[in-house]
Structure 1
Amino acid sequence: MEIGIIGAGALGGTFAALLDRVGHRVEVTARGDGLAAIRSAGIRLTGAYGDVTARVTANERLTRRPELVLVCTKAQDAEAAVAANRALVDGATVVVVQNGLEGVDTAERLLPSSTCLGLLSLIAADHSGPGLVHVTAAAESGLGRGDGPAGQTAVRIAEVLSEAVPVRAIDDFRGAQWTKLVVNMVNAVPAIVGVTLGEVVAHPGLLRTLTASMHECVRVGIARGVRFGSLNGLDDTGLRAFASSSLEDATSVPSDLVARMGWETNRGSTQQSLRRGQPTEIDFLNGAVVREATAAGLAAPVNAALVGLVHEVESLGHPLPADRVIDLR
């Protein structure tokens, strides 16, 4: 199959290398040093899926009309990247591989002739250098769209992608997106103070703020009529119980999540972006909670404060003291 991958970072590079390995014809988009490295030496993948060097076609924009497109940019770059490739992409099946809630809607707006799906990837991968990707944890990804059944297109595309990496078509994709958003609340606090998730959950004040951001996210989702999907050991029943519990009792949920997933040394994708001097996805993570809260007639003060603090770190170029993050209201 002719496959175009927009964005050859950690996840884009992973999918490109693994799809190339099983025989698909892959073209990726990249820029700057990344583009030069891929053209010179290919995408070099190491880690959980084995060592792969994929000599894929790479350009700033797609040059061949694809049958299937994976949009793997950071959420804040998706609209511009899709628009730049619209002439060749519109009409193809498009899979948006992104955090947040808005990626599929953005793709559908820009590509009216395409069938657009979302992919929730739990693969842990690090874009360790130009053309270099290291996968620290392999995992099954979930593919779907909207609130209903996965549909035949999702089933078919999941089968294609599963030739390279495990993908399952899932019903009620929106509910799974919301659970992933809850999980992604782990990103902001360690990014602001420059520590690992293990250090966050070991610090009572930082853990309380992390828990409060998750609390807000779940309560906003409930107000928006969400039935949470099962993901990372979290499900609708457990998250509703979490939302109704006191903040002190609820701290076990993020602590258990970090322990269950083995994330004690993980710094999160937001902190990785900060360390590379790149803009973060914070407006599409905690910022999404704030926007959804406004739509529900609610406030999300903890998440709003965390968004502001991450942007402050982006501007300053260094972490903030822990006391800036404790007891946000």
Structure 2
Amino acid sequence: MKIAVIGAGAIGSVIGGLLSKAGEDVTLIGRKPHVDAVNRKGLVLEGECGRIVIKVKAAENLDFKPDLALLTVKAQDVESSVRKMQPFLSSTQIVTMQNGVQSDDQAAGLLGKENIISGVVTFNGQFLEPGKASYSIPFSKTALLIGEPFGNKGNRLQTLSALLNKAIGTDISEDIRAAHWTKLIWNLQTAVPAATGLSYQDSYQYPKVRELTINLLKEGLKVIKAAGIKTADVPGFPMEPIETMAREALPIASTLLKKKAESLGKVPVLGSTLQSIKRGKSTEVDYSNGEIVNLGKKAGIPTPVNSLMVELVHEAETTGKFLTVDELARRSN
């Protein structure tokens, strides 16, 4: 089986690299500096399993028809990437792995619903430099959920799960769309490190930042409930802590959030949004916090906190500058 990983940044490189290590025929499709480094020195992965160097093929463009394509580009790049590679993807099984809730429909509009499987990534990956990435959970645990966004397609999920489990812990979701919404609610927080330039661990040392984050989550939860949207527990992203923080008084909720940050460990967790800004790339904020803003407008619910965070993240994208904690507090009042 020929496997193409389209958009081999942090997540794509980790999954594709580990599949190659397991003996699968994998080609990483990515940007030239990363491709050149991988072809020259191999792919370096660092994480709980130690440091490994993997021999894996890499190319800037897809020039063959894969049997399976893992689509790991950012949410804002789905349509353009699929259009560019569409001649090689007809009738190919595609696994979308974006944050947000739009990618399945976007890919299906170009490639057909019958070819789309949806994935929810539950591990943290970080692109360190060309040819090098890291991951932050042991791969004996569930790192990926897969499901059918458009209904049952026989036993293909079982076949795909068996393949992916050679590399990372993979489970099957009975409601993958609900799982995507759960992760979206959790990912509203990624705007906070993106605004401050600090890791989650450092950001949440400040009570003012924790209060802002709690209001951010409460607002998102209120909007999706008003819209009648279902959620489903995702490994590493259970809904119960979000529900509890939304229900409890601020001092209790703030303590819970601080403990959650402390549980992340000593390695700084930046979140995908801040990583994109530091690399000079556009972010997925319009597909996370922006999704809540748009849904709030449809439901007639104000979303001042998420609207502010969309604004602040776009400012950081444009200027490359971050706010101090005091500046963030002033902007949020």
Q: What TM-score, normalized by structure 2, do the two folds share?
A: 0.89
2:298 matches 1:295: yes
Aligned-residue identity in percent: 29
Tell me, yes or no, if the aligned pair for 2:201 and 2:264 is still in contact at 8 Å.
no
2:313 is matched with which residue: 306, 310, 315? 310
Aligned with residue 325 of structure 1, among 323, 328, 332: 328
Matched, 1:277 2:245: no
Contact 2:161 2:170 in 1 (8 A): yes
Q: Using the TM superposition, name which of 97-106 and 4-13 deviates more.
A: 97-106
Instruction: Give runs of aligned pairs for residues 144-159 of structure 1, distance below 5 A.
Output: 144-146=147-149, 152-159=155-162
Partner Cα distance (2:180, 2:85) in 1: 25
The root-mean-square deviation of aligned C-alpha atoms, in Å, is 2.4
Query: What is the aligned partner in structure 1 of residue 179 from structure 2?
Result: 176
Distance 1:34 1:193 in 2: 28
> Does the alignment pair 1:160 with 2:163?
yes
**1:303 shift after superposition:** 0.6
Count of aligned positions: 329
Native 8 Å contact 1:127 1:134 kept in 2? yes
3-state secondary structure, aligned to 2:136:
strand
Q: Distance in 2 between matches of 1:176 and 1:263?
A: 28
Q: Which amino acid in 1 is paired with 2:119?
A: L
Shift of 1:186: 2.2
Deviation at 1:302, TM superposition (A): 0.6
Structure-1 residue corresponding to 2:268:
265
* Structure 1 gaps, min length 5: none
The answer to which of 238-247 and 316-325 deviates more is: 238-247
Quick one: distance in 1 between partners of 2:203 and 2:14?
29
Contact 2:196–2:203 (CA<8 Å) still a contact in 1?
Answer: no
SS at structure 2 position matched to 1:326: helix
State the 1:50 CA deviation: 4.3
TM-score of the pair, normalised by structure 1: 0.90
Structure 2 residue runs of 5 or longer lacking an equivalent are none
Letter in 1 for 2:80: A
Contact 1:124–1:135 at 8 Å: present in 2 too?
yes
Change (3 A) 1:234 1:94: closer
1:48-59 matches, within 5 Å, as 48-59=48-59
Distance 1:94 1:305, change over 3 A: same
Bigger mean CA deviation after superposition, 178-187 or 133-142:
133-142
Secondary structure of 2:79's match? Answer: helix
**More displaced stretch, 112-121 vs 123-132:** 112-121
Q: Which amino acid aligns with 1:20?
A: S
User: CA contact under 8 A between 2:122 and 2:236: conserved in structure 1?
Assistant: no
> Aligned ranges for residues 1-329 of structure 1 at < 5 Å?
1-112=1-112, 114-138=114-138, 139-140=141-142, 141-146=144-149, 152-231=155-234, 235-236=238-239, 239-247=242-250, 249-262=252-265, 265-326=268-329, 328=332
